[in-house]
Chains A and B, each alone.
Chain A
Amino acid sequence: MGHKGWGPQWRNPEPKPHYDIIIIGGGGHGLATAYYLAKEFGQKNIAVLEKGWIGGGNVGRNTTIIRSNYLLDGNEPFYEFSLKLWEGLEQDFNYNAMVSQRGIMNLIHSDGQRDAFIRRGNAMILNGADAEYLSAEQVRAEVPFLNFDDARFPIKGALAQRRGGTVRHDAVAWGYARGADQRGVDIIQNCEVTGLRIENGVCKGVETSRGFIGANKVGSCVAGSSSRIMAHANIRLPIESHVLQAFVSEGLKPVIPGVITFGAGHFYVSQSDKGGLVFGGDIDGYNTYAQRGNLPTVEDVCESGMAIMPMIGRARLLRMWGGVMDMSMDGSPIIDKTHIDGLYFNGGWCYGGFKATPASGWCYAHLLAKDEPHEVATAYRLDRFRRGYMIDEKGVGAQPNLH
């Protein structure tokens, strides 16, 4: 039979004049929001507006890692909720997203780092997640190819989360899009929001490249471009846009069993099911909306890779790309109402948005449907910077390019 008879996975509808809820942004988070609004919160008459095409934004530009290894109370319950949703996602939306719990290992290189990671592991366990401390010998038994005895960055152990892993990122967008579409959500592609219609402090709808579309509630969900959308409502955000580069090597036979992160520099690597080594490091570190970075960061990422895994130097780089991130002032996201009635905001995901996709969608849907935050997202307030309730995992302060 071969692969014949495949139809489109979702409709391509014309926008209606009015919706109950409009989600701006057809990325993973926006589609998940629409899906859960329809499936879990009984909402009808929903549209998702996407300026490009489904799967063309950050949901197709990440390094596909899922995990819930956070320290702080404002974050860890949320990310553990997300990991639990990942575990049931394929059954829930009946789509093969290749969720693979191959485990994640954060390497430890100093005694101080060991203390910090053990503390983090305990925080994870207290919040119902799994965490495991591995000695250097245990790490060596599992991933013998690492550079254990490097004079500068010796590997002294690892914090492992066995339930972490990777997911086929495109399939996440496709699965949520199909599931939302099947429940009546209009997914409108090539429809760029060019303005927000606000009258007497109430958001009445959106101006788009395809005309005005009215709505009772409008939810921005465009991390990377949040400041550009919210500027239409004269809202300045605690966010800078930065580019994060990612890299894939040529296809290799299976060599890396899970996700490995370098604790002394910033480097993370896994191997895709096609065989490519998927890796990345720091953001470039300057404001940008260009989906491409510069060579000093490429050099830095490759140096980090060589420091922990010298064999990576024998692999050839196949391709590299950049995605634009909302870097927030404390490194944590925002899911909240704004001071304008009917206008809601979801953004500030820094470079950790992919793993958050299911919980971000669920919690945003909860907020949009009930006008109150989900219990695991109560800390993600837009006004937390004014009130002094930052959620700063790294403790580096209001310097977005250091988070």
Chain B
Amino acid sequence: MIINHPILGPRDASEFTYLGDASLLNRPDWQAADAAEKFYEYQYLRDNTAGEHRELWYHEQGDRSWLVVTRNTLTHAISKVEIASDVARAGGNGR
């Protein structure tokens, strides 16, 4: 697989490590009344989608940026690559 890094251009997937579903960007509010349940769901449950999947990749052998890659889990075709901090900020989670 080739990941088209938004800054560095096309890079082989072997330069990256994989974390998981991009929902991991959406850390629950630890002060909410239902925080225990929300953290259980955040930590352990996954949609595990067959099809378009947004996921976190870390460019460990490169610029050490975190990316959100949209990839089809049935075909491995990558349709979109974003900088994770941009995605987090757009979702109101970034600094």
Per-residue CB contact flags for chain A residues 276-300 toward chain B (1 = under 8 Å, else 0) read: 0000000001111110001010000
Whether B79 is near chain A, meaning CB under 8 Å from some CB there, is: no
Per-residue CB contact flags for chain A residues 200-240 toward chain B (1 = under 8 Å, else 0) read: 00000000000000000000000001011001000011111
Complex interface: stretch among A140-148, A166-174, A393-401: A393-401
Rounded to whole angstroms, the CA-CA distance of A294 and B53 in the bound complex is 18
Whether A152 is near chain B, meaning CB under 8 Å from some CB there, is: no
The reply to whether A289 and B74 contact each other, CB–CB distance below 8 Å, is yes
Whether A386 is near chain B, meaning CB under 8 Å from some CB there, is: yes
A-B contact count (CB 8 A): 72
Q: A238-B45, A239-B48, A240-B46 are in contact. Are A286 and B18 (CB under 8 A)?
A: yes
For A287, what are the chain B residues with a Cβ–Cβ distance below 8 Å?
20-21, 48-49, 53, 55, 73
The reply to whether B44 and A289 contact each other, CB–CB distance below 8 Å, is no
For B33, what are the chain A residues with a Cβ–Cβ distance below 8 Å?
none
Number of interface residues of A (CB under 8 A): 25
Per-residue CB contact flags for chain B residues 35-55 toward chain A (1 = under 8 Å, else 0) read: 000001101111111100101
Q: Which among B43, B48, B50, B74 has the greatest number of chain A C-beta atoms within 10 A?
A: B48
In angstroms, how far is the closest chain B Cβ from the Cβ of A226?
Answer: 8
For A385, what are the chain B residues with a Cβ–Cβ distance below 8 Å?
40, 43-44
The reply to whether B13 and A236 contact each other, CB–CB distance below 8 Å, is no
Find B50's partner among A239, A289, A329, A401 (CB 8 Å cutoff): A289
For A63, what are the chain B residues with a Cβ–Cβ distance below 8 Å?
none
- 8 A Cβ contacts from B30-87 to A: 40-41, 43-50, 53, 55, 71, 73-76
The reply to whether B55 and A398 contact each other, CB–CB distance below 8 Å, is no
The reply to whether A227 and B46 contact each other, CB–CB distance below 8 Å, is yes
In angstroms, how far is the closest chain A Cβ from the Cβ of B54?
Answer: 10
For A228, what are the chain B residues with a Cβ–Cβ distance below 8 Å?
48, 50
The reply to whether A227 and B73 contact each other, CB–CB distance below 8 Å, is no
The reply to whether A290 and B73 contact each other, CB–CB distance below 8 Å, is yes
Rounded to whole angstroms, the CA-CA distance of A399 and B46 in the bound complex is 12
Rounded to whole angstroms, the CA-CA distance of A329 and B17 in the bound complex is 18
For B73, what are the chain A residues with a Cβ–Cβ distance below 8 Å?
241, 287-290
The reply to whether B20 and A238 contact each other, CB–CB distance below 8 Å, is no
The reply to whether A290 and B75 contact each other, CB–CB distance below 8 Å, is yes
* Main SS at interface, chain A: mixed
For B20, what are the chain A residues with a Cβ–Cβ distance below 8 Å?
240, 287, 399-401
In angstroms, how far is the closest chain A Cβ from the Cβ of B52?
Answer: 11
Rounded to whole angstroms, the CA-CA distance of A385 and B42 in the bound complex is 11
The reply to whether A237 and B48 contact each other, CB–CB distance below 8 Å, is yes
Rounded to whole angstroms, the CA-CA distance of A239 and B45 in the bound complex is 7
For A286, what are the chain B residues with a Cβ–Cβ distance below 8 Å?
13, 18, 55, 71
The reply to whether A237 and B76 contact each other, CB–CB distance below 8 Å, is no
In angstroms, how far is the closest chain B Cβ from the Cβ of A348?
Answer: 11
The reply to whether A290 and B48 contact each other, CB–CB distance below 8 Å, is no
Q: Can you give 29 A-B contacts (C-beta < 8 A)?
A: A227-B50, A228-B50, A231-B47, A236-B41, A236-B46, A238-B45, A239-B46, A239-B48, A241-B48, A241-B50, A285-B18, A286-B13, A286-B55, A287-B48, A287-B49, A287-B53, A287-B55, A288-B73, A289-B50, A290-B73, A290-B75, A294-B13, A294-B76, A329-B44, A386-B40, A386-B44, A399-B19, A401-B18, A401-B20
Q: Given A288-B74, A290-B75, 16 more contacts at CB 8 Å?
A: A227-B46, A236-B45, A236-B47, A237-B46, A241-B50, A241-B73, A285-B18, A286-B18, A287-B21, A287-B53, A288-B76, A289-B73, A290-B76, A329-B44, A385-B40, A399-B19
The interface of chain A, by Cβ under 8 A from chain B, is 225, 227-228, 231, 236-241, 285-290, 294, 296, 329, 385-386, 398-401
The interface of chain B, by Cβ under 8 A from chain A, is 1, 12-14, 17-21, 40-41, 43-50, 53, 55, 71, 73-76
